[in-house]
Structure 1
Amino acid sequence: MKRTALLIIALAALLPMHAALATTTLTSVRVSPANPKVGETVTITVNGTLESANCGIRMEYGGTDMPREEFVLSDKGGQLPFTISKTFSKSGTYKIEALGRKVGKLTFGCEGNVSTMVTVAAADRYTAPSAAAAPMSMAGACPDGWDMIAGQKDPSKGFTCAPKKPAARLDCGPWLNYFEKGGLIGCKKKK
């Protein structure tokens, strides 16, 4: 009987401690930019009130190929808002969730579950200017930082772009030699 009473008293003493550990409340999650494209790095921000102790969150990226992740938020680090960076590999609409969950054996979950939807657009692709009725000029056929390869007279019949050559050679210093080969430039060890 005495052991049971002691156990009840010990458990009752732990209840306020559990409440104190779980006083961090998640209030929102947002993605920036709001309309990302495939391959673009996005920032996911979880907001909330961090009052005391540590608590755990689980991030889920529904419908993506990204695995869920668990994090411990600490009151000592002032970790709210909590931010992480991600890159989506496929277009589509995804549910991003921050869920208050126990992490490990000693960290209670934060209070609350928050989510947002994000629509990821396909990445932009460079397309060659369409052949119009008038003959196409050589100027502007390639994007900035690129030049049309010499010898191509009429871009409407096809063309190839290569990176522009630098205005000046690289300074390779006294121990390396400058080289140009196959459209590449660089510095390599002297022989």
Structure 2
Amino acid sequence: MTDNHDDFGDITIPNAVIYRLTKAAVAGDDGFAHAGVATECKTAINIVARLFIHYLTATTVEVARAKGRTKLTLADVLDALVRIDFGDLVDKTQSDVALLADAAERGKKRRADGVKAAAVKRATSDPAESSAATSSTAAANNGDGDDGDDGDDATDDRDVGEGDDGDESDDDGSGETEAKRQKMMDALLSA
């Protein structure tokens, strides 16, 4: 490993992150809650953190290659931590990764539930209300030029009063849109 920290190019850890981590470590239980952190200190910690990440990653790559793989796994990182004499971080790393995975799973489930709820709401809403709202919105957006027209007459040539809301893929009177909504609803609820 070289002493030149420029081997990483312009890759740096954001100073705000370094500052928060440093302040949290300094504050600790020792009563240094208001201790300052010099700029040189933050810069040095940034450089050392990048070097540590590089060293840990290089060791992780060696571990994976020794196992005949090119993809790095959590097990490789944990083995690398032991190899570089940071074995005491293995348990904390495993528990933190498990917490992050649980949080990600909860977020994914919450987003999926939100999408399902929105689909149910859209599918159960009255189609007459939504088409009336679309028509009134289209009529409001397509003035006759007296309400601050921007000079773009291409959008003013549409005849909105004929019941055409500008979307040819909508219902053609055969109930196709309702069937699509029901199919989408069934797919979302079965997921």
TM-score category of the 2 structures, normalised to the smaller one: under 0.3
TM-score normalised over the length of structure 1? 0.20
Q: Which one has a larger percent strand, Structure 1 or Structure 2?
A: 1
The structure, 1 or 2, with the larger RCO (C-alpha pairs under 8 Å, 6+ apart) is 1
Q: Which one has a larger percent helix, Structure 1 or Structure 2?
A: 2
